Structure 1
């Protein structure tokens, strides 16, 4: 890989819309655990696992934002982008305090990348830096390198629960309050019965509605939503 190419694609940009402050964590266990892992690590490998839309990507990106805000050297990668390149794209991890890789299950079955993950895990133990990875729940078994499986399974694990409709509504309510607005149960029920229940789409909808609400100085009501979205 040429130096020019490496500089163009490294480091990969994390999504700055995610933070620990806007992650809904009812008892804040996950947030406290991640902050502790980054600031005062007892373990050098942390695995964040969970199902679709459970918050894995949010936490990986929020960890990057936390590192940036607190002056902690880090590298962030998304496995989907990494698959386009050779494993030598990740170098000199010892120069960073934290390495973050999202969706590592996408690298399963790729012998070059499985070996790289294995080496990165071992390097983090030897050289005293933190490796935090996110993986779709129950996908560790899809890795063919068994030594890698055992290592990934041996670190500190944060398993995120699947989000049912009740939890999704709590997240929407929480994020709406962060935008400086209130939302009642009738409005929440309306949103979930008239629009896709996908969390990302719901959050985008709330963002759009909140912007219109602030401009027009109106509360989030069903008539307002109907008028805005029609």
Structure 2
């Protein structure tokens, strides 16, 4: 497939987060899932794979990591976040069968929307016929999405289904360290303990705190210390 011309870009300037890569994801109990995603992205694994987990567990990060992985191998990949595209016409799926890898995120967003459910169903069939890898993600397992189109629910069960396991506290700390390091700064153990004690334990909220501290540190030209965290976060 990689010798074919990829389709027109998706609307809204959808792009991958640069830091959303496998090397920046602390796998914890998700090692097997990460390996399965890498294999599918390289064209050597399962053609159909479904992952699910609550917000902040890393589903979007993993799908975008798979796209980065495919791109590094010279393969064409498309990341399709339905939460950002649900107000567009479903014809945006046209041409995706020209890709090597298609990653559809936020499948829960189309539950009860007959037009979009039908569009995903037909896309699924086209991709399978064209031997294109399809990775999908949602907040619930296929049977928990309450899709109106039973045939689509059935299709989503055809491949491997993984639940993204939540990270333990130490793994969350390692994730914060890795994210900080990727941005060119370090966080002391004292600062990390303070953030973990005073911030929400959900990983997505912890990463938002890190983003806020990073921007504040750059603006103030100050290192991130406990007093600085207190000042910025109001804790």
TM class, shorter-chain normalised? 0.7 to 0.9
Q: Distance in 2 between matches of 1:160 and 1:11?
A: 27
Structure 1 residues 147, 227: CA separation in 2 closer, same or farther (over 3 Å shift)? closer
Between 1:195-204 and 1:18-27, the stretch displaced more is 195-204
Q: Which residue of 2 aligns with 1:56?
A: 59
Q: Which residue of 2 aligns with 1:67?
A: 70
Q: Distance in 1 between matches of 2:71 and 2:42?
A: 13
Report runs of 4+ in structure 1 exceeding 6 Å deviation.
none
Q: Which residue of 2 aligns with 1:103?
A: 106
Checking the alignment, whether the CA contact within 8 Å between 1:11 and 1:75 is kept in structure 2 is no
Consecutive unaligned residues in structure 2, runs of 5 or more: 1-7
Q: TM-score, with normalisation over the residues of structure 2? A: 0.79
Q: TM-score, with normalisation over the residues of structure 1? A: 0.81
Checking the alignment, whether the CA contact within 8 Å between 2:51 and 2:59 is kept in structure 1 is yes
The 5-angstrom pairing of residues 70-85 of structure 1 reads: 70-85=73-88
Checking the alignment, whether the CA contact within 8 Å between 1:109 and 1:143 is kept in structure 2 is yes
Consecutive unaligned residues in structure 1, runs of 5 or more: 1-5
Q: Secondary structure at the match of 1:158?
A: strand
Two-structure CA RMSD over aligned residues (Å): 2.9
Structure 1 residues 14, 174: CA separation in 2 closer, same or farther (over 3 Å shift)? closer
Q: Which residue of 2 aligns with 1:131?
A: 134
Task: Give CA-to-partner distance per residue, 1:134-186, whole Å, 9 cap, x none.
Answer: 111235431111111111012122320134544433322343444452531x4
Checking the alignment, whether the CA contact within 8 Å between 1:16 and 1:61 is kept in structure 2 is no
Structure 1 residues 191, 99: CA separation in 2 closer, same or farther (over 3 Å shift)? same
Number of residue pairs the alignment of both structures matches: 222
